């Protein structure tokens, strides 16, 4: 049996939740380097340490470290990169594809967790939970009218694994009418959950809630801006659980401050963590620290997916995981 070097770099919480991931390959006799990290600490890591860890790796499973051409030169036998998130920032997928190295993401592994967070934010905003929680702590008793999520129109921007799962929850659990915008239309969602695919402007004008689930790409950066916020209902709630730079934060702030929209739920920011966070003073904003997929269930699903992908790569089989750079592979 050939012994491989496998680097596993991921958040400490994921590491504690999924010890079976590195242990699976250690038991097979492979050299496994485990490096718990976080998006906040990774920039402070000595580059020499990262180079040492990456050197002569056959497989890299990463979450936070940036894999560059320079680093790849240290691992000439690299045959696979897996990344724990649905996104793949920090990895030049085109460059690796041209080297014949597939990049696998965790697509679908966190769909339930992120979709549930979106629903939690909708309900929290509908019933004024952030406002009431703050007021009750200050001994203020002021019950006001909220609104129900049931039966409302929800617009979902980006209906991949997460957006599709959200459509299922909202349709079956809340009898919501679902409008969707995506570059790829999924007829199965229409058949199962009555999802109506519309243009982005129609979605913004008609939706009571708007939940954003697009990846961060050159084509999506800054796509939600003042023009679209102006189209939304003054009673609309806007949720971003995708990536911070997909929206123009200044435009969102102005929309909230002016009453252009009723409130927002934000799990992601630009930058992260936010600097001088002006949303913190707003009672109609719910904020979480990019925690959408941060559940043990998600960690275990993605670990199982990556174990299978790495096993496929080792055995020379067709990789069953979601290859994000297929079009660039030699």
Q: Which of 272, 278, 297, 317 is catalytic?
A: 272
Q: Which of 31, 196, 290, 311 is catalytic?
A: 290
* Number of C-beta neighbours around residue 308 at 10 A: 15
Residue 232 gets which letter from DSSP?
A: S
pLDDT for position 72: 77
Q: Does pTM surpass 0.75?
A: yes
Is the separation of the CB atoms in 176 and 151 below 8 Å? yes
Active site (annotated) includes residue 213 = no
pLDDT for position 178: 98
Which residues lie across from 8 on neighbouring strands? 34, 61
The residues spanned by each domain of the chain are 5-108+295-328, 111-287
> Mean pLDDT for each consecutive 10-residue tract of the chain (330 residues)?
85 85 95 81 74 89 81 86 81 84 92 98 95 92 95 97 97 98 96 98 98 93 98 98 97 98 97 93 94 93 94 90 85
CATH 3.90.280.10 fits 111-287, yes or no: no
Q: Which of 30, 128, 243, 306 is catalytic?
A: 243
**CATH number among 3.30.2010.20, 2.60.40.10, 3.40.50.720, 1.10.40.30, domain 5-108+295-328:** 3.40.50.720
Active site (annotated) includes residue 243 = yes
Active site (annotated) includes residue 12 = no
Ramachandran angles phi, psi of 92, nearest 5°: -85, 90
**What is the DSSP secondary-structure string of 249-295?**
HHHHHHHHHTTSSSEEEES--SSSS-SS-GGGG-TTEEE-SS-TT-S
pLDDT for position 64: 80
Please check whether the two domains, 5-108+295-328 and 111-287, share a CATH topology: yes
Q: Residue 23: helix, strand or coil by DSSP?
A: helix
């Amino acid at each position: 049996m050939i012994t491989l070097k496998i680097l596993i770099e991921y958040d400490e919480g994921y590491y504690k939740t999924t010890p079976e991931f590195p242990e699976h390959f250690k038991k097979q006799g492979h050299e496994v380097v485990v490096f718990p990290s976080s998006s906040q600490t990774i920039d402070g890591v000595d580059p020499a340490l990262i180079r040492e860890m990456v050197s002569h790796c056959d497989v890299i499973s990463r979450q936070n470290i940036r894999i560059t051409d320079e680093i790849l030169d240290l691992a000439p036998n690299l045959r696979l990169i897996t990344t724990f998130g649905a996104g793949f920032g920090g990895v030049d997928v085109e460059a690796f594809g041209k080297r014949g190295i597939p990049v696998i993401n965790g697509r679908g592994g966190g769909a339930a967790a992120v979709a549930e967070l979106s629903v939690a934010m909708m309900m929290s905003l509908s019933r004024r939970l952030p406002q009431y929680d703050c007021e009750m702590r200050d001994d203020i008793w002021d019950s006001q009218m909220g609104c129900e999520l049931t039966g409302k129109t929800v617009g979902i921007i980006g209906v991949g694994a997460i957006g599709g799962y959200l459509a299922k929850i909202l349709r079956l659990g809340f009898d919501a009418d679902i409008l969707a915008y995506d570059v790829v239309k999924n007829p199965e969602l229409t058949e199962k959950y009555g999802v109506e695919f519309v243009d982005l402007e129609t979605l913004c004008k008609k939706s009571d809630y708007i939940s954003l689930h697009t990846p961060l790409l050159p084509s999506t950066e800054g796509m939600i801006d003042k023009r679209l916020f102006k189209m939304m209902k003054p009673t609309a709630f806007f949720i971003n659980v995708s990536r911070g730079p997909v929206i123009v934060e200044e435009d969102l702030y102005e929309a909230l401050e002016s009453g252009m929209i009723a409130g927002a739920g934000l799990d992601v920011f630009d930058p992260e963590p936010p600097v001088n966070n002006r949303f913190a003073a707003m009672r109609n904003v719910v904020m979480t620290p990019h925690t959408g997929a941060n559940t043990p269930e998600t960690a275990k699903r993605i670990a199982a997916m990556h174990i299978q992908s790495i096993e496929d790569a080792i055995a020379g089989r067709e990789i069953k995981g979601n290859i994000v750079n297929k079009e660039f592979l030699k």
